[in-house]
Structure 1
Amino acid sequence: MNTESLLEELGLTKTEARIYLCLLEQSPLAAGTIADLTGTSRSSVYLILRSLVDKGLVDAGAGYSSRFQPAAPDVAFGGLLERGREEQRERERHVESALPDLMRRFEANAGGDGELVEILRTPKLVGDRFDRLHASSQQSIDIVVRRPVQLGGSNQPELDALSRGVRARAVYDHGLMRHPSVADNIGAWIEAGEEARVFHGDLPMKFAVFDGHTVLMPLFAPGVGGVVALIVRSRELCGALSLLFDTLWTASMPIDPDMFRHHHDHEPVTADGSHAH
């Protein structure tokens, strides 16, 4: 790839790249001379030079008959790259701000034909939809967590939801408190605002209810390969599962994150100081 093509990859137009290279080889030059040397029309050369000045690649003198010269490449392109990074950061901030409302609209109209049930057949799809439901939540997330576990890392989608003021409650199977995905992170989740409890017994199923109208339920059936999960948009079903969640919540013990951090064997510690076995 030649230098002109590389400059185009950096965001310059073909004519901008040609003019900049021309100025590197001979400058300062008047606009008319630049137009003649690069085969650019005189009617457009000033606009192109102004664009290069705005990008910090060309310096211009004062006055109508001013002459143009290139900025030092190491300085010019360092600034160009930094402006590009700042623009990318700004786009990311815009996406982060817009995403909750966009996801709310998407979830409200998912299926397009009034379909209330989605079937998810791969772990990646389940994880992606789980993250999206977190991103679109506005009020509450209630989760029952039992084996098999698909949690991993910092659980950033929940942390983002908590930072927006969403209330997140989780009931964990006591056996999961030794699982590294839970044991290594639950203290941080609770400190971020998650309300967490441990259930001493066998949880009947795992599910997550979002804003009281959407539920995600992983299903693990004998003989069925991979993960199958359902997303159901039904306030009636969510109401029934919320009653089940509240029953499990009442029967579970709160976790004290400060006490949990001091137990390196990953045994869960409840608010009364006992270990959940």
Structure 2
Amino acid sequence: MLEALGLTDDEAELYVALVRSGPCRADRLPGLSRIRFGQLGAALEGLSAKGLLTRTEDAPARLIASPPEVVGEVLLLRRLNELHTARAAMGRLADEYRGSAQDGPGRASVEFTPTAAVAQRADQIQRRASKEVMIFDMPPYASAAADGTALGNSCEMDRLAAGVRYRTVYDRLAIEQDGGLERIGRYIAAGEEARATHRLPMKLLIVDREMGIVPALADGPEQPNGSALIYPSPLLDGLIGLFEQTWSAALSLDPAVDQGERREPEIDESEARLLTLLLSGMTDAVIARQLGVGRRTVLRKARGLMDRAGVATRMQLGWYAARHGWLGESG
């Protein structure tokens, strides 16, 4: 815990022991579980240099721990100053890094990221998020199992817990993956706002409307060749506009979302989920697998919704559902 203030493990253990024991002679140190004898001298010198320890002139010397409420505040402020200095230095390096990627003056708005670094870069820019992350989710995935299914986004769970808003539009192919709906359900339960569409134009991740990442090139349909990191520019503005337009037209995947005032007849949660998958363009077999039911059950429930809406085709069912607010507003 005290290591965050710049103490080594040995210094932290020794300081805690001295605080708890009170002043003691140097040859009668309190029991220490981990510090080797050869490292004890270095720990004592380190604590003295940081102002956490006073040694008297007696022989043998007495060791007195400095009051935590006094010295702790000093160390904390010193650490904060170091972090601010380091942040400023990293900012200057970032300008140099982006500037080195172009021939002319000024800051490049696009930076190429090799395939091997894509997953790491996506994780890093998400951890910068303080307000909102916008995602187009579709395969292939940088972090995937041997069969190509997504391994999940643990960073999203952390940022959702920190209060960052996540809005994700899922391509039909993402939902059709084995366990796809279950994976999305975990994100929704954690606070993600999720919608679905039949076909997305590309993979996309935008953080705080200040930085985005999209695929750069492709050797084949399943072999993405790196990504492009997009900085503030008209290009990023265009990608934000594309996301918002796609988001507005997509169907909600969260049956619990506020759907506003509906006209009768209403549909329950399971029917709303079925209808969402139907209107996303999935086949009956895929829907059955995602919902864990038989294909005949899907056909029967779909037929029941059509009967209740008084329509003859699924296209008419989609029109009716939108007109009568069965799946809520898309805006």
Quickly say closer, same or farther: Cα 1:272–1:127, change in 2 above 3 A: closer
Judging changes above 3 Å, is the alpha-carbon distance between structure 1 residues 154 and 233 closer, same or farther for their aligned structure 2 residues?
A: same
Distance in structure 2 (CA, Å) of the matches to 1:162 and 1:175: 24
State the 1:247 CA deviation: 1.6
Q: What's the TM-score, normalizing by structure 1?
A: 0.56
Query: What is the aligned counterpart of 1:134 among 126, 130, 135?
Result: 126
Answering whether residue 241 of structure 2 is matched by residue 246 of structure 1, we say no
1:39 counterpart residue number: none
| Contact 2:206 2:213 survives alignment (8 Å) | yes
Q: How far did residue 250 of structure 1 move?
A: 1.6
SS of 2:97 mapped into structure 1: coil
* Structure 1: unaligned runs, 5 residues or longer: 1-9, 13-50, 81-93, 260-268
SS at 2:218 equivalent:
coil
- Asked if the contact 1:121–1:226 (Cα under 8 Å) also holds between the matched residues in 2, the reply is no
Q: How many angstroms apart in 1 are the aligned matches of 2:13 and 2:248?
A: 66
Which of 112, 117, 126 is matched with 2:110 structurally?
117
Question: Post-superposition shift, 1:169?
Answer: 0.6
Within 5 Å, give how 1:157-176 maps onto structure 2: 157-176=155-174
**What is the CA deviation profile of residues 18-72 of structure 1, one whole-angstrom value per residue up to 9, with x for unaligned ones?**
xxxxxxxxxxxxxxxxxxxxxxxxxxxxxxxxx9975759xx9999xx7945767
Q: Secondary structure at the match of 1:209?
A: strand
Structure 2 residue 201 is the aligned partner of structure 1 residue 204:
yes
Q: 1: CA distance between counterparts of 2:158 and 2:224?
A: 28
1:149 and 2:141 correspond: yes
Question: Are 1:153 and 1:185, in contact at CA under 8 Å, matched by a contact in 2?
Answer: no
1:230 equivalent to 2:228? Answer yes
Shift of 1:195: 0.7
Q: Is the 8 A contact 1:144 1:205 kept in 2?
A: yes
Q: How big is each residue's C-alpha offset from its partner over 1:150-169, in whole Å with a ceiling of 9 and x where there is no partner? A: 35545222222222322211
Provide the C-alpha distance between the structure 2 equivalents of 1:183 and 1:131, rounded to a whole number of angstroms.
22
Structure 1 vs Structure 2: percent identity of aligned residues?
24
| Contact residue 109 and residue 233 of structure 2 kept, 8 A | no
Instruction: Let me know the Cα RMSD of the aligned residues.
Output: 4.5
Rounded Cα–Cα distance in structure 1 between residues aligned with 2:202 and 2:13? 62
Q: Deviations along 1:168-225, whole A, 9 cap, x unmatched?
A: 11100112113247444222211221111110x2211111111112110023423697
SS of residue paired to 1:185:
helix
In the alignment, what sits opposite 2:324? none
Contact 1:214 1:235 in 2 (8 A): no
Change over 3 Å in CA distance of 1:184–1:109 after alignment to 2: farther
- Number of matched pairs: 199
Distance 1:110 1:176 in 2: 38
Gaps of 5+ in 2: 1-8, 37-78, 100-106, 144-149, 258-269, 283-331
Distance 1:102 1:164, change over 3 A: farther
How many Å separate the matches in 2 of 1:61 and 1:212? 53
1:187 aligned onto 2:185: yes
Distance (Å, rounded) in 1 between the aligned partners of 2:27 and 2:247:
72
The reply on whether 1:77 has 2:18 as its aligned counterpart is no
Q: Deviations over 1:108-161 (max 9, x none)?
A: 7472533332211123x1111111111111222111112212355452222222
In structure 1, the residue matched to 2:263 is none
- Provide the rounded CA distance (Å) in 2 between the counterparts of 1:185 and 1:106: 39
Secondary structure of 1:130's match?
helix
Higher relative contact order (CA 8 A, sep 6+): 1
Amino acid aligned to 2:246:
L
One-letter amino acid of the counterpart of residue 192, structure 2:
E
In the alignment, residue 121 of structure 1 is paired with which amino acid? Answer: P
Once residues 111 and 207 of structure 2 are traced to their aligned partners in structure 1, the CA distance between those partners, rounded to angstroms, is 15
**Residues 248 and 220 of structure 1, relative CA distance in 2, 3 Å threshold:** same
Residue equivalent to 1:17: none
**C-alpha distance in structure 2 between counterparts of 1:161 and 1:230, whole Å:** 23
* TM-score w.r.t. length of structure 2: 0.48
1:228 and 1:106, CA in 2 relative to 1: closer, same or farther beyond 3 A? farther
